[in-house]
Amino acid sequence: MEYRSPVVVGRGEESRAVDEALAAAREGRGGAVFVVGESGIGKSRLIDAGVDRATAAGMAVLRGRASAIGPAVSFRPLTEAILHLLRTEPVDPAELGSYAPALGTLVPAWSSPPAGAVAESPVLLGEAVLRLIAVAGAGRGCLLALDDLHDADTATLATLEYLIDNLDRQPAVLLCGVRDTAGAALTMTREAAQRGRGLLIELSRLSRTDLRPLVAAYLGTDAAAVPSAALDLVWAGSAGNPFLAEEVVTALVQEEVLSRDGEAWVAADLPDAVLPPALTRPLAARIAGTGEGTRAVLSAAAVFGPRFPVAVLARVTGQTDDFVLGLLHDDLAGPLVEPDSEPGWFAFGHPLGRAAVLAQLGDDDRVRWAARAADAVEAMQSGLPGEWCELAATLRLAADQRPAAGRLFAEAGRRALDRGATTSAVDLLGQAWELLAGEPATRAETLGQLLLALAEDGLVDRALSAMATLDQLDGPAPARRAALHTRLAWALEVAGRVDEASAEVDTARALLGPDAAAADHAPIDVVAAHIAYDRPDPARRAKAEELARQAATVAESVPLPVVACQAWLLLAAIARQRDVAEATACLDHAHSLAVLHRLPRWELHALVRLGNDDALRTGDLTRLHRARDQASQVGSVTARYQAEASLALHAILRGDLAEARELLDTALAATVRFRQSETMRYALLLRVVLAGHRGDRAGLTEALASFEEHRGDLTLHAPRVHGLAGAFLALLEENPARAREDLAVAVRHQDVDHLSGRHGLHLFLGVLDGTVGRSEWQAGHADPAAGLRWDRQFALFARAVLLGRQGERRRAERVMVDALRVAEPYATSRHLALRLVGEAALDDGWGDPVAWLRAAERFFHRRRVPAVARACRALLRREGIRVPQHRRGTDDIPQRLRSAGVTAREYEVLGLLAGRLNNQEIAAHLHLSPRTVERHVGNLIAKTGLPNRIALSGLALDVLGRGTPLPHGTVGTMTRETTAATPGLNPSPE
């Protein structure tokens, strides 16, 4: 038996719209309702429900449908509808007057129409039908229900168009069902809806939630009794199409996948990701019984894949594009496929459709269709651009053409590697390696590419295993073996396994011998240079630069563009220790080489470093965000998370600690999942820095332990651990002695990591404690390596302190303005500098140390860094400055008022002054004594520097006018008065 739902499910809004149209018709206000949707979506079921409700309400009902089966019959739906009425409710043609003969074409018993009248005038026939439904619906309303109008003839549609435009004053509703495929019927309904001549109801597929009551109705049980496993299968097999849902339920029951256990329904256990034959057999049987053209198109589509291009199917089947499109829209294929988001492509709407098509194909048929599809793709897509290469490879493999498939997978893998999609490259090149057993030369080249992909993807152990298969390559030449060992060395170096990488470099050099050309040694030299750079030894760093420059020179002359990019990126890292501008020039050159030689992967690596370079030099994150987005678009996992980690670093420096933590959590999860060891360790190192900038000593200790646990080198990274993290944390703990100790460790090495503090924080603390004078400051600031914005802020703060200490107050204040401008992006360091400079300025008598200390105190109170906040308060009290308590409501006070010392209660009083209230009125509102209010007003006049109460009222109105909320005010009843500009203080919201 077949299971059918006796109810309409998930169409509540649509059913209400039909009911409203029926009610309006009974009241003499006619109209049209168009139900549009894909095949099987439930158009007929909704129309059936409308017919049932109209019949129950005593309305006259005319019902008909169009059909594409058999020879075309003009006016079939209208004829069927009128005959449906006349079988149960005879109508006297005399009631139609002179229009009755016009219906003779539809109702032969009513005589013939005037010669040629109907054929020449659909208007005449339309008016005749209009008169008929008016007579039938007199006093009770009439429903004209016409289904499948997408199959209707042109004359019928022309007649209906007249009806639609003239129903508004008739006691009738026209309810039509139309498939959502391009055609005259769909055009007519949409245009009518646009003209306001009908209601368009577009049915979508049911949601998974709506499927449960639908399945329950099929099975005759409660929704709660439907097994979740069965619902999962129905959803997978129907994608919310009610017709297909019925098919699947019927198949599940017939095959006893779904069975009764007493009053309950039970679903059998099925292996994961397996569609049982019960799901595919009914549709497969239908497909097998269709015409040869439909079977051919669907078979070619299913073999091609879940989505497929119409043009390729046309070439494979020998048909035109229009013919194939027609088949894809017919009654069988319509429920199975749908237009894809890419123009010219279609897709199977759900797995069941494709599985059902494949189920009716034998192995030989699948091989034959796959070979035809591969031939068509290669003929139509010259060079197999983009995804076509992998598609062709997959089709060749399905056609059992293994060597051809292997070559195509190798090419697709190489392209994926070039654009930085390393995970895809590993999969594609791995397939190629397995398929190319009979082609040693191509297989050796594929192994080399695979080693590079594994290196980028962090799969170093798999790279070692792949290298162990070298003996399968029938003894490649020493130069080819050396190249493979060089690529393995790169994989090991990227993974941080420096000693193993060095051993592979030695093996590669030995294989080449002393007489090899410089071009053969250049790839080895650049890997050796990276290895030397990773060792914390000044002599090795010098050797690294020598090898990198040598490799770059040779690589550009050959050319070997990848080697050149590797070399210039390393030279940029080396140069940054001594000259920021030189480092930028190296990066620009690497980027230009990558663009020139069309190396997207290396272009991305250079772009990430250039973005980081921008951020370090100027604070601009634009290029770093672009690099991250571009890497995401092309699937470059390595470049994306390198960019994410760099963004996290700059979020830390900017004081956006929550954002930094989120970025690092995401990057760590991804780099662990994708086995990106180098980037993972860098993210772990940044967790150390983040803990330092949060003032979290315990968190820093824990992060250091995690970094070491994952093979992080504390000696190599001492400059960041001690300079950027440890020293900063010590300052947040108000422990300058410990900060200086950490900085001493950070700057101890001759080659110091940027951001270690040598050219910034180290100078600043040295000036503060008197160990760095003007000459030492000038030497440090003039160093070409001192060009990073993070360092420049501290150097300028130090300069201001020096000038203030020497009595040059005006120059000190001008430099302080410059320092604050440079420090603007860095919230935490800027306020920390305000605290430190503020103390020096108090001692030396220059600047505005009270305002600076107030701002710093407020910032660190909010950030819950109590040691610095307490130190600021202590310094202010030392100078006799009253420090306001942090009462509730203080956050609402604009920054300038807060800096002037206005308290939360005084701000409440100020807000009420805007309404020109007197002291007693303010006191009553705030439950204070008038004397207390008078004291608050006096304090406000003193703190703002304004002359009187009237000026205070103007200030309050000015604040209100700027949109700043005043707490507890009754400002809803106030009116803004025209006031003169308030002299003195000019507050603005924070």
pLDDT band at 236, cuts 50/70/90?
low
Q: What is residue 985's predicted lDDT score, i.e. its pLDDT?
A: 33
Q: What is residue 337's predicted lDDT score, i.e. its pLDDT?
A: 82
Evaluate if residue 829 carries a pLDDT over 90.
Answer: yes
Are the beta carbons of 625 and 611 closer than 8 angstroms?
A: yes
Q: Is 108 exposed, middle or buried (CB count within 10 Å of its CB: 0-12, 13-18, 19+)? A: exposed
Of the candidates 840, 870, 868, 834, which has an alpha carbon nearest to the alpha carbon of residue 853? Answer: 834
Q: What is residue 522's predicted lDDT score, i.e. its pLDDT?
A: 94
User: Angle 561-575/518-533 helices, nearest 10 degrees?
Assistant: 30
What is the spatial distance between Cα 670 and Cα 747, in angstroms, rounded to a whole number?
A: 33
What is the spatial distance between Cα 272 and Cα 692, in angstroms, rounded to a whole number?
A: 48
Query: Which has the higher per-residue pLDDT, 119 or 417?
Result: 417
pLDDT band at 286, cuts 50/70/90?
low
Query: Which has the higher per-residue pLDDT, 668 or 672?
Result: 668
User: pLDDT by residue (tens digit) across 780-813?
Assistant: 888 877 889 999 999 999 999 999 999 999 999 9
Q: What is residue 935's predicted lDDT score, i.e. its pLDDT?
A: 86
pLDDT band at 470, cuts 50/70/90?
low
Query: Which has the higher per-residue pLDDT, 157 or 637?
Result: 157
pTM listed for this prediction = 0.56
Mean pLDDT of 378-394: 92
Mean pLDDT of the chain: 84
What is the spatial distance between Cα 374 and Cα 175, in angstroms, rounded to a whole number?
A: 47
Are the beta carbons of 93 and 108 closer than 8 angstroms?
A: no
Q: What is residue 182's predicted lDDT score, i.e. its pLDDT?
A: 82
Q: Which two tokens stand for residue 844?
A: 């030396």
- The fraction of the chain above a pLDDT of 90, given in percent, is 41
From residue 722, alpha-carbon distances to 383, 685, 713, 725, 745 in Å are: 54, 11, 13, 6, 7
Q: Which two tokens stand for residue 208?
A: 């998974």
- In this structure, are strands 337-339 and 264-267 parallel, antiparallel, or unpaired? unpaired
Of the candidates 46, 60, 57, 59, which has an alpha carbon nearest to the alpha carbon of residue 18? Answer: 46
User: pLDDT by residue (tens digit) across 841-896?
Assistant: 999 999 999 999 999 999 999 898 989 999 999 999 998 888 876 665 666 678 77
pLDDT band at 964, cuts 50/70/90?
very low
Q: Could you tell me how far CA 238 lies from the centroid of its own chain? A: 28
Q: Could you tell me how far CA 29 lies from the centroid of its own chain? A: 49
What is the spatial distance between Cα 495 and Cα 534, in angstroms, rounded to a whole number?
A: 12
- Tokens 């074409």 locate to 105
Residue 586, sorted as left (phi over 0), alpha (psi -120 to 50) or beta, turns out to be alpha
Element (H, E) at 32: strand 31-37
Q: CB atoms < 10 A from the CB of 287, how many?
A: 23
Choice among 157-166, 192-201, 453-462, 662-671 with the minimum mean pLDDT: 453-462
Greatest mean pLDDT range, 149-153, 289-293, 329-333, 477-481? 149-153
Evaluate if residue 969 carries a pLDDT over 80.
Answer: no
Mean pLDDT of 474-486: 76
- The DSSP call for residue 361 is -
Are the beta carbons of 490 and 508 closer than 8 angstroms?
A: no
pLDDT band at 7, cuts 50/70/90?
low
**What's the CA dihedral at 240, 242, 244, 248 to 10 degrees?**
90
Q: Is 692 exposed, middle or buried (CB count within 10 Å of its CB: 0-12, 13-18, 19+)? A: buried
Task: Give the count of alpha carbons within 13 A of 471, CB side only.
Answer: 2
Choice among 130-134, 415-419, 527-531, 559-563 with the minimum mean pLDDT: 415-419
Q: What secondary structure does DSSP assign to 701-716, as a single string?
A: HHHHHHHHHTT--TTT
Q: What is residue 119's predicted lDDT score, i.e. its pLDDT?
A: 43
Q: CB atoms < 10 A from the CB of 967, how many?
A: 15
User: pLDDT by residue (tens digit) across 36-52?
Assistant: 998 778 899 899 999 99
Q: What is residue 239's predicted lDDT score, i.e. its pLDDT?
A: 65
pLDDT band at 276, cuts 50/70/90?
low
Choice among 85-89, 259-263, 397-401, 524-528 with the minimum mean pLDDT: 259-263
Q: Which two tokens stand for residue 9?
A: 């499910």
Q: What is residue 219's predicted lDDT score, i.e. its pLDDT?
A: 84
Evaluate if residue 114 carries a pLDDT over 60.
Answer: no
User: pLDDT by residue (tens digit) across 719-760?
Assistant: 889 999 999 999 999 999 999 999 998 887 645 557 888 889
Beta partners for residue 179, in sequence order: 37
**What's the CA dihedral at 439, 445, 448, 454 to 10 degrees?**
-70
Q: What is residue 675's predicted lDDT score, i.e. its pLDDT?
A: 65
What is the spatial distance between Cα 595 and Cα 602, in angstroms, rounded to a whole number?
A: 9
- In this structure, are strands 172-179 and 264-267 parallel, antiparallel, or unpaired? unpaired
Q: What secondary structure does DSSP assign to 166-202, as a single string?
A: T-TTSSEEEEEEEESSSSHHHHHHHHHHHTTSSEEEE
- In this structure, are strands 264-267 and 307-309 parallel, antiparallel, or unpaired? unpaired
What is the spatial distance between Cα 491 and Cα 499, in angstroms, rounded to a whole number?
A: 12
Q: What is residue 6's predicted lDDT score, i.e. its pLDDT?
A: 58
Q: What is residue 477's predicted lDDT score, i.e. its pLDDT?
A: 74
Q: Could you tell me how far CA 241 lies from the centroid of its own chain? A: 29
Are the beta carbons of 38 and 338 closer than 8 angstroms?
A: yes
Q: CB atoms < 10 A from the CB of 975, how many?
A: 8
Name residue 95's amino acid. Answer: E
Evaluate if residue 762 carries a pLDDT over 80.
Answer: yes
Mean pLDDT of 186-198: 92
Q: What is the Rg, in whole angstroms, of the alpha carbon atoms belonging to the chain?
A: 40
Of the candidates 690, 574, 630, 595, which has an alpha carbon nearest to the alpha carbon of residue 622? Answer: 630
User: pLDDT by residue (tens digit) across 613-625?
Assistant: 999 989 999 999 9
- The fraction of the chain above a pLDDT of 70, given in percent, is 88
First to last CA, the chain: 73
User: pLDDT by residue (tens digit) across 685-706?
Assistant: 999 999 999 999 999 999 999 9
What is the spatial distance between Cα 624 and Cα 611, in angstroms, rounded to a whole number?
A: 4
From residue 487, alpha-carbon distances to 221, 435, 504 in Å are: 64, 22, 9
Q: What is residue 973's predicted lDDT score, i.e. its pLDDT?
A: 28
Mean pLDDT of 416-435: 84
**What's the CA dihedral at 949, 952, 957, 960 to 10 degrees?**
-140
From residue 585, alpha-carbon distances to 218, 569, 626, 693 in Å are: 72, 10, 20, 31
Mean pLDDT of 474-503: 81
By residue count, the chain amounts to: 990
Choice among 452-466, 518-532, 912-926 with the minimum mean pLDDT: 452-466
Choice among 231-240, 435-444, 738-747, 976-985 with the minimum mean pLDDT: 976-985
Helices vs. strands in the chain: H and E counts, helices first: 48, 10
What is the spatial distance between Cα 845 and Cα 807, in angstroms, rounded to a whole number?
A: 8
Mean pLDDT of 564-569: 95
Q: Which two tokens stand for residue 177?
A: 């069902």
Are the beta carbons of 436 and 472 closer than 8 angstroms?
A: no
Element (H, E) at 339: strand 337-339
pLDDT band at 897, cuts 50/70/90?
confident
Q: What is residue 979's predicted lDDT score, i.e. its pLDDT?
A: 29
All domains in the chain, ordered by first residue:
12-202 (3.40.50.300), 208-274 (no CATH), 279-380 (1.10.10), 384-496 (1.25.40), 751-883 (no CATH), 894-973 (1.10.10.10)
Mean pLDDT of 301-306: 91
Evaluate if residue 976 carries a pLDDT over 80.
Answer: no
What is the spatial distance between Cα 551 and Cα 545, in angstroms, rounded to a whole number?
A: 10
User: pLDDT by residue (tens digit) across 915-940?
Assistant: 778 888 888 777 678 888 888 888 88
pLDDT band at 425, cuts 50/70/90?
confident
Evaluate if residue 435 carries a pLDDT over 50.
Answer: yes
Q: What is residue 281's predicted lDDT score, i.e. its pLDDT?
A: 63
User: pLDDT by residue (tens digit) across 119-141?
Assistant: 457 888 888 899 999 998 989 99
User: pLDDT by residue (tens digit) across 343-367?
Assistant: 899 988 766 678 878 888 889 999 9
Q: Which two tokens stand for residue 663?
A: 């970025």
What is the spatial distance between Cα 881 and Cα 873, in angstroms, rounded to a whole number?
A: 9
